[in-house]
Amino acid sequence: MGADGGALVVLNVYDLTDINNYTYWFGFGIFHSGIEVHDKEYGFGAHEFPASGVFEVEPRSCPGFIYRCSISLGRVNMPSTVFRTFIENMASEYHGDTYHLISKNCNHFTDDLSRRLTGRGIPGWVNRLAGIGAVCSCLLPESLQVTSVKPSLEYHDNSEEDGLESLSTTTPQESTEIDDADPEQHLLSSPTTSSEVSFVKEPRV
C-alpha cells in the first residue's frame, strides 16, 4: 500500500518483436502488457481450455516477451485480500479459449482492468494495432483474424493450489533498456529477474 493508503497500479509494457524499435516512434507496435498491483503483475493469455486465461507473474518479468517500460496509472484503495477476490471474479470473463488477436487480446484485458481499478484506460498506442486491425479486418488474412497469438504455454489444472493454476513456459525472458513511453507518464525502472507464471483460478460455484 502507498503512503496515502492506496495501492499503486502500473502498466508494464513488453515488445513482441524487435520491429517495435522502429515502429514505436510512429505511435504503434506489437505489444504485450500486464497490470501490476499489490506486488504482482496480471496478464491475459491464450490456451485451448474454457477456463481462466488470466495469469500472474513477478512484475516486469513476463516470460517470452521483451520488457520495454512501465507507466503509472494511478492508485486503488483496495486491500490485497479484496483485490484477490476481484481478480478471480474477473478471470471468469477472460477464458484462455476466448483470446483473439484483434478483439480480445492481452491489451484489451489490461485496459479493462485499469478502468475498473482507476477509472482510466491504458495509453492508446499500446493496443493501436488491434484497433487498426478491427477497422481493416476485411483486409487481413482469415487465419490472422481468427487465430490467437500466444507464447509456448502449457496449462495444468492444480485444484489443490489455492487460487492459482500452474503454467510452464519454454521461452526465455530478455530485458531491454527502458524507453520514453509518454512524456506525461511516470516511467519506472526494470529488474532483470526471471519469473514463474500461474493462472488465476476462477471462484468456485
What are the residues whose beta carbons fall under 8 Å from the beta carbon of 120, sequence distance 6 or more? 73, 74, 114
Amino acid at 43: G
- If you ran DSSP here, which 8-state letter would residue 47 be given? -
Residues present in the chain in total: 205
Bridge partners (DSSP) listed for residue 54 = 44
Report the distance separating Cα 72 and Cα 60, nearest Å. 13
Burial grade of 81 (CB within 10 A; 0-12, 13-18, 19 or more): exposed
Catalytic residues, by residue number, are 32, 106
